[in-house]
Amino acid sequence: MELSAYAQGGWRLLGDPRRFPRRPYAALLRAAFRSLLDHPQAGLGEGAAEAAGRSPPASPARYGWHQALPLPPRTPPARSVPSLRATKRRSFGSVRGKDDPDLKDIDPTVLKHCHAAAATCILEAGKQKADISAISTCLEECKLDKERIEQFCTEYQKNKDALEILLGSIGRSPLHITDVSWRLEYQIKSNQLHKTYQPSYLVTLNVENNDSGSHPDVSFSCTMEQLQDLVGKLKDAAKSLERATQM
């Protein structure tokens, strides 16, 4: 398990008994876990809104297609799904010395830095399903003594199940195509009333999200040449995958 240089710096501060005596250290660990696990729906940001389906869908133009058909409005799922970015943002900015008497004497800048470091370590350990040995090794490299490492591991074990539930609710899986349909459209006139007689294909991809289940279909319009190009690239991808599985 590896932490960023910023997070390592925060943990080195946490390992210094002159900056964080025993009681403030324990109070900050509790605050870090509490900020992540309490009220998981509070403080949802842009990432959460996107995961919940409230942002406009990405246009197929980003994949090289133009003339995208209007998509139906998204229906948010019954439960908003927080994003990892929103969870981190909510946690990193939620600790204040005045909220806990044991933290009131800690410099606010140092407190924010160390709280972010603790929250980062908690999330990384949960994402990687790290065991106590891996967590201990990581914190030893940050110059923490055995007592403080054991204190963090005890708090982590106590909250491990709730943390896994939180991380499991964060949707980041790509869409999975379950079916595809198409129909041929023949355009006789353009918006300028010029005769075009240009055929095009209307393609609809039926997709689902592994995190939240159903998802609105993705539809786009393309010419015959564009459709042939897409089919060719998909065949190339399938061949590459087949070769990779035979290695």
Domain boundary among 128, 148, 168: 168
67 has pLDDT over 60: no
pLDDT tens, position by position, 211-243: 555 678 889 988 889 999 999 999 999 988 888
Last residue in a domain, options 121, 148, 168: 168
Residue 200 lies in a domain: yes
- Using alpha carbons only, what angle is made at residue 114 by residues 113 and 117, rounded to the nearest 5 degrees? 90
Q: Number of structural domains, the chain?
A: 2
Q: Helix 108-128 vs helix 5-14: angle between axes, to the nearest 10 degrees?
A: 120
pLDDT confidence bin for 92, thresholds 50/70/90? very low
Cα-based distances in Å from 2 to 56, 121, 126, 127, 154: 35, 9, 13, 12, 20
Segment 173-209, tens digit of pLDDT? 677 888 899 998 877 766 665 666 678 889 999 887 6
Structural domain that includes position 160: 5-44+82-168
E strand or H helix at 222, and its extent?
Answer: strand 218-222
Helix, strand or coil, per DSSP, at residue 66:
coil
Q: How far apart are CA 132 and CA 149, in angstroms?
A: 10
Residues 207 and 177 in one domain: yes
Q: Is residue 208 part of a domain?
A: yes
Q: Check whether residue 17 and residue 105 sit in a common domain.
A: yes
Q: Is the pLDDT of residue 129 over 80?
A: yes
Share of the chain above pLDDT 70, in %: 66
Closest by CA position to 25, among listed 88, 94, 126, 100: 100
Could you tell me which residue, 195 or 123, shows the higher pLDDT? 123
User: 129 and 158 share a domain?
Assistant: yes
**Residue 53 falls inside a structural domain:** no
pTM assigned to the model: 0.51
| The pLDDT of residue 178 | 87
Please give the pLDDT value at position 15.
Answer: 92
Model pLDDT, residue 9:
93
Question: Would residue 212 count as lying in a domain?
Answer: yes
- My answer on whether 91 and 146 are in the same domain is yes
Same domain assignment for residues 74 and 86? no
Domain check: are 70 and 94 in the same one?
no
Q: Give the whole-angstrom CA distance, residue 235 versus residue 224.
A: 16
Alpha-carbon span 110 to 90, nearest angstrom: 18
- The pLDDT, as a whole number, for residue 132 is 93
Bridge partners, 176 (sequence order): 208
| Claim to verify: residue 217 and residue 234 sit in the same structural domain | yes
Q: Does one domain contain both 193 and 233? A: yes
- Closest of 124, 117, 120, 149 to residue 136, by C-alpha: 149
Q: Do 73 and 88 fall into the same domain?
A: no
Same domain, 39 and 100: yes
- Please tell me the distance from the alpha carbon of residue 215 to that of residue 206, in angstroms, as a whole number: 8
Does a structural domain hold residue 112?
yes
Q: Please state, in angstroms and as integers, the Cα–Cα distance from residue 160 to each residue in 96, 132, 157, 210, following that order.
A: 24, 11, 5, 23
Letter for the amino acid at 96? R
The residue type of 185 is E
> Considering the domain boundaries, does residue 220 fall inside one?
yes
Same domain, residue pair 130 and 188? no
Please report the pLDDT score of residue 155 as a whole number: 93
**Which pLDDT score, from 0 to 100, does residue 62 have?**
37
Domain end call among 168, 183, 199: 168
Domain for residue 50, yes or no?
Answer: no
Q: Could you tell me if 129 and 12 lie in one domain?
A: yes
Let me know if residue 122 belongs to a domain: yes
